[in-house]
């Protein structure tokens, strides 16, 4: 005979057992599934199902990529989570820190504020796209030479901002450099060396 157990914290002798409870729950779940009336937590809370996915083609670092994305996905999310381009950093995700800066048609843009579907048909460049084979690009090399980083988290975005500036203006003034990187925050305060690195990068690109 199955041993009866008292409810936890209860002094009654109602015959409730763990085995009986699990058996009844299992039977109830099967009956509910058969009825076709299962309600998910999201549905119960009134949350809409994910949007329909779209097929888009992105030109990233000179390579064409065909992707299936949701209309709400940011370019930052797609680059990092679907293509593994982790040089694009997640920061504030609201257009304030610049850690996710990429170039779109050679113009610096925040990846967190750009939808992936918006970038279709444009030329996208990430930090990885500045490499020359296994060698650093001029801006990357300049940041190393001038020690233009401390923790390094903001560095990819800083580099992309400088790269965008030099593509538009090969000989920028100090004021132009400062203005161009003003949208990229460095919490370590390495700005003086960042400005020096931008000036050095301009030299390297001209040589």
Domains of the chain: 51-127 (3.10.20.30), 131-207 (1.10.150.120)
Q: What is the pLDDT of residue 32?
A: 40
In the chain, which ranges are continuous DSSP H helix?
Answer: 18-35, 41-44, 75-77, 138-145, 155-168, 174-180, 191-206
Tens of pLDDT along 41-50?
A: 444 445 444 5
The arithmetic mean of pLDDT across residues 188-204, rounded, is: 97
The pTM of the full predicted model, rounded to 2 decimals, is 0.75
Say if residue 130's pLDDT is above 70.
Answer: yes
Average pLDDT over residues 107-135: 97
State the pairing for strand pair 123-125/54-60.
Answer: parallel
Residue 38, pLDDT > 70, answer no
């Amino acid at each position: 005979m199955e041993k009866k157990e008292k409810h936890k914290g209860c002094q009654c002798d109602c015959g409730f057992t763990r085995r009986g409870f699990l058996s009844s729950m299992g039977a109830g779940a099967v009956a509910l599934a058969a009825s076709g009336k299962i309600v998910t937590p999201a549905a119960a809370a009134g949350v809409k199902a994910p949007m329909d996915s779209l097929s888009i083609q992105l030109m990233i670092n000179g390579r064409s990529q065909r992707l299936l994305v949701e209309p709400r996905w940011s370019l930052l999310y797609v680059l990092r989570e679907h293509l593994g381009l982790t040089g694009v950093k997640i920061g504030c995700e609201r257009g304030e820190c610049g850690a996710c800066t990429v170039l779109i048609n050679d113009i610096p843009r925040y990846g967190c504020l750009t939808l992936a579907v918006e970038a279709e048909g444009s030329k996208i460049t990430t930090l990885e796209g500045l490499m020359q084979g296994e060698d650093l690009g001029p801006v990357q090399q300049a940041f190393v030479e001038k020690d233009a980083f401390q923790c390094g988290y903001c560095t990819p975005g800083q580099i992309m901002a400088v790269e965008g500036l030099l593509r538009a203006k090969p000989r920028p003034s100090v004021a132009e450099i400062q203005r161009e990187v003003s949208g990229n925050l460095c919490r370590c305060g390495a700005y003086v060396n960042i400005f020096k690195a931008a000036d050095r990068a301009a030299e390297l690109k001209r040589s």
